[in-house]
C-alpha cells in the first residue's frame, strides 16, 4: 500500500456532481488541509485528513509511506490535445517569424504544417517512436500523466496509419495513458491541392475503414478552418468517422470564425478546441451538446499573439458564464506550440485569460479528463479513481501556481507507481 500523509494542502479537484466542473464548482479545487490518501495497487482507496487516513490504514511493514509535510498533493495533469508524433524541427521557421513572418504566411508559402509533413513522411517508425517517447518523458517530468495524441502529419493512408501505430505503441508501452486521435483532416496535402474532393474521399473511404479495422483510434478530429476544411467537408468526414465508431473532436474557430463550433455541437464532440474567434452564440451551442471548450494560451505565447489577449480573456469569461466546461491543453506541436508543460499552460491561463489558481488546476486535471471521456477514471483524487498523483514542494496550491515554471514538482505517481524523481527517462 502507498500512503501519502501530512500534505499541507491536498487538492482533490473532485467534481460537485458527475461530469466536468462548471460555475461555482469550477472555482473550487476541493482543498483538504493536512490531507492524506491511501493507494492500493493502481487505485486510490481513500482520501481525507491525515488523522482519518492513518486511523483507517495504520501503516504496516512493506507499506510505502510518503511524508508530504510542507508540500501539496494534486491529481496528475491531463493533456487533452497534443500533436506529439512528428519529425523535423521548425526552429528555423521561428527565426523567420521573429523577423515578422506570420503563421498563416508560412502556411501559404508551403512551410508550416507542410514542412513537418514532409519530414514525418520520410521518418522511420523507429525515429518517430523514439522522438515521441522522449516528448512524453519530458511531459511526464512536468506532471502530465495522461496525454491525447493526434496523427495528422502524414496525410496519406500509409503514413497516417504509421503515425497511429506509433501512438498505439506509446499507449501499449506506457506508463502514461494515451488517447489516440485520427487527424487525417489536418490540412489538404500539397499533391491534392487542386483536388480536395479526392483527398476527402480517401479519408472517408480508405483511411477510416483501415483505422477501424486495426482499432487504431478512439477519436476523429477535423481542422475546420480556412487553412483546413470547410464545415461541409468536416461534416462528411465526421459522419463517416462516427459510422466507424469513433468519437469526435474539432479544431474550431482558430484563425477565423468559420463554423467549426457549430459542427462540434452538431456531432456532440467531446471537445471544441481553440475557439479563438468564437462568438457567444457558438459557445452556447456547446453547452447543449455537452462539449468541453479547450483553450491554448501556449499558442498565443509562442506565436506572440498579444493582441488576442483581451479577446481571449473575454472568451474565457463567456465560456464560464455559459456553463460550458473549460479545459486547457498544450497543443504540443513543433510549429505553433513546442510546449511540454501543463504547469506553464496553467501559468499562462492565469496571465492571459484571467483564470484563477483553482480554475487553472481544474482545467488541466478533472475538466481535461472529461474532455477525453475519462472523467470517471482520472483527473481527481477520490476513492476508486486511478492513482495518478503529483506532489510539489510548495506550502499551498496558490503558492505553487503563483510561481512561474515547473521547479517545485517532487513526485509524479502514475497508477500507484512512482515515475519521478527517478533519474533519466521513463522506463
- CB 333 → Zn ion: shortest distance, Å? 6
Q: Phi/psi zone of residue 62: left (φ > 0), alpha (ψ -120 to 50 degrees), beta?
A: left
64 is in an annotated binding site: no
Burial of residue 408 (number of CB atoms within 10 Å: 0-12, 13-18, 19+) = middle
Q: With respect to Zn ion, which residue has the nearer C-beta, 177 or 331?
A: 331
Strand partners, 49: 35
Report how far residue 142's alpha carbon sits from residue 122's, in angstroms, rounded to the nearest whole number.
Answer: 30
Report how far residue 237's alpha carbon sits from residue 201's, in angstroms, rounded to the nearest whole number.
Answer: 9
Position with the least CB separation from Zn ion: 331
Burial of residue 373 (number of CB atoms within 10 Å: 0-12, 13-18, 19+) = middle
**Per-residue x/- track, 278-317, Zn ion (CB under 5 A):** ----------------------------------------
243 is in an annotated binding site: no
Q: Considering only residues 59-78, where is the footprint of Zn ion by CB under 5 A? A: none
251 is in an annotated binding site: yes
- CB 81 → Zn ion: shortest distance, Å? 6
CA-to-CA dists, residue 328 to 84, 293, 325, 347, angstroms = 16, 8, 10, 11
For residue 318, which of 14, 16, 22, 28 has the smallest C-alpha distance?
22
> For Zn ion, which stretch binds (CB under 5 A), given 21-29, 69-77, 184-192, 331-339?
331-339
Q: With respect to Zn ion, which residue has the nearer C-beta, 71 or 249?
A: 249
Is the peptide bond preceding residue 376 cis, with omega within 30 degrees of 0? no
Q: With respect to Zn ion, which residue has the nearer C-beta, 94 or 153?
A: 153
Three-class SS state of 73: strand
If you count them, how many residues does the chain have? 427
Q: With respect to Zn ion, which residue has the nearer C-beta, 253 or 331?
A: 331
313 is in an annotated binding site: no
Among 331, 347, 359, 388, binds Zn ion (CB under 5 A): 331
> For Zn ion, which stretch binds (CB under 5 A), given 9-17, 104-112, 327-335, 402-410?
327-335
- CB 350 → Zn ion: shortest distance, Å? 22
Element holding 328 (H helix, E strand): strand 326-328
Q: With respect to Zn ion, which residue has the nearer C-beta, 6 or 116?
A: 116
Counting contacts by CB under 5 A, is residue 358 touching Zn ion?
no
Q: With respect to Zn ion, which residue has the nearer C-beta, 331 or 359?
A: 331
- CB 213 → Zn ion: shortest distance, Å? 26
- CB 21 → Zn ion: shortest distance, Å? 23
Three-class SS state of 255: coil
254 is in an annotated binding site: yes
Q: With respect to Zn ion, which residue has the nearer C-beta, 276 or 331?
A: 331
Q: With respect to Zn ion, which residue has the nearer C-beta, 153 or 411?
A: 153
204 within 8 A of 236, measured Cβ to Cβ? yes
Could you give the residue ranges of the DSSP H alpha helices within 329-391?
A: 342-353, 357-363, 366-371
C-alpha cell at 181: 486521435
β pairing state of 326-328 and 177-185: unpaired
335 is in an annotated binding site: yes
- CB 310 → Zn ion: shortest distance, Å? 23
Report how far residue 317's alpha carbon sits from residue 363's, in angstroms, rounded to the nearest whole number.
Answer: 14
**Per-residue x/- track, 8-37, Zn ion (CB under 5 A):** ------------------------------
CA atoms 368, 249, 118, 255: torsion sign: negative
Got the DSSP string for 138-174? HHHHTTEEEEEEE--S--SHHHHHHHHHHHHHHHHH-
> For Zn ion, which stretch binds (CB under 5 A), given 22-30, 140-148, 211-219, 329-337?
329-337
81 is in an annotated binding site: yes
Three-class SS state of 378: coil
Size of the site for Zn ion (CB under 5 A): 1
Which residue positions form the known binding site for 4-imidazolone-5-propanoate?
Answer: 90, 153, 186, 254, 336
Which residue positions form the known binding site for Zn(2+)?
Answer: 81, 83, 251, 331
| Sites of contact with Zn ion (CB under 5 A) | 331
Which residue positions form the known binding site for N-formimidoyl-L-glutamate?
Answer: 153, 333, 335
Amino acid at each position: 500500500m502507498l500512503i501519502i500523509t501530512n500534505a499541507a494542502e491536498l487538492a482533490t479537484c473532485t467534481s460537485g456532481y458527475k461530469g466536468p466542473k462548471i460555475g461555482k464548482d469550477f472555482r473550487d479545487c476541493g482543498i483538504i488541509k493536512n490531507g492524506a490518501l491511501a493507494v492500493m495497487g493502481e487505485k486510490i482507496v481513500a482520501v481525507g485528513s491525515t488523522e482519518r487516513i492513518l486511523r483507517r490504514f495504520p501503516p504496516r511493514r512493506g507499506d510505502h509511506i510518503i511524508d508530504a509535510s510542507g508540500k501539496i498533493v494534486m491529481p496528475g495533469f491531463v493533456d487533452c490535445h497534443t500533436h506529439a508524433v512528428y519529425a523535423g524541427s521548425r526552429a528555423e521557421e521561428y527565426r523567420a517569424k521573429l523577423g515578422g513572418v506570420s503563421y498563416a504566411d508560412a502556411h501559404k508559402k508551403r512551410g508550416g504544417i507542410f514542412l513537418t509533413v514532409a519530414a514525418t513522411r520520410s521518418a522511420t517508425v523507429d525515429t518517430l517512436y523514439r522522438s515521441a517517447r522522449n516528448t512524453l518523458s519530458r511531459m511526464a517530468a512536468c506532471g502530465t500523466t495522461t496525454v491525447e495524441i493526434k496523427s495528422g502529419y502524414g496525410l496519406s493512408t500509409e503514413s497516417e496509419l504509421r503515425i497511429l501505430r506509433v501512438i498505439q505503441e506509446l499507449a501499449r508501452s506506457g506508463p502514461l495513458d494515451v488517447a489516440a486521435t485520427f487527424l487525417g483532416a489536418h490540412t489538404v496535402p500539397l499533391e491534392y491541392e487542386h483536388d480536395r474532393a479526392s483527398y476527402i474521399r480517401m479519408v472517408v473511404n480508405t483511411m477510416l475503414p483501415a483505422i477501424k479495422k486495426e482499432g487504431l483510434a478512439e477519436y476523429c478530429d477535423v481542422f475546420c478552418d480556412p487553412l483546413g476544411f470547410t464545415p461541409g467537408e468536416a461534416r462528411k468526414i465526421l459522419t463517416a468517422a462516427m459510422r466507424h465508431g469513433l468519437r469526435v473532436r474539432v479544431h474550431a474557430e482558430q484563425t477565423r470564425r468559420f463554423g467549426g463550433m457549430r459542427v462540434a455541437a452538431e456531432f456532440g464532440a467531446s471537445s471544441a478546441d481553440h475557439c479563438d474567434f468564437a462568438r457567444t452564440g457558438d459557445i452556447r451551442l456547446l453547452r447543449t451538446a455537452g462539449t468541453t471548450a479547450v483553450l491554448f494560451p501556449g499558442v498565443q505565447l509562442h506565436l506572440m499573439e498579444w493582441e488576442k489577449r483581451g479577446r481571449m480573456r473575454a472568451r474565457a469569461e463567456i465560456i464560464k458564464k455559459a456553463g460550458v466546461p473549460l479545459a486547457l491543453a498544450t497543443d504540443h506541436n513543433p510549429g505553433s506550440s513546442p510546449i511540454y508543460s501543463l504547469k506553464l499552460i496553467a501559468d499562462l491561463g492565469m496571465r492571459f485569460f484571467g483564470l484563477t489558481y483553482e480554475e487553472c488546476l481544474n482545467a488541466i486535471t478533472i475538466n481535461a479528463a472529461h474532455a477525453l471521456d475519462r472523467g470517471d477514471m482520472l483527473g481527481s483524487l477520490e476513492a476508486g479513481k486511478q492513482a495518478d498523483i503529483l506532489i510539489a514542494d510548495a506550502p499551498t496550491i496558490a503558492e505553487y501556481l503563483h510561481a512561474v515554471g515547473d521547479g517545485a514538482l517532487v513526485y509524479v505517481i502514475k497508477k500507484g507507481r512512482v515515475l519521478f524523481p527517478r533519474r533519466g527517462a521513463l522506463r
